[in-house]
Amino acid sequence: MSGDELLVVDERHISEGFWEVVGMTPLLLACIAAAAPVAGFGLLNLQARLERWDYERHAED
For the chain, domain boundaries = 3-59
Residue 18 CA to residue 12 CA, distance in Å, equals: 10
Number of H helices, E strands in the chain: 1, 0
Consecutive 10-residue averages of pLDDT for the chain (61 residues): 54 60 78 97 98 93 70
Report pLDDT for 60: 78
Residue 1 CA to residue 47 CA, distance in Å, equals: 63
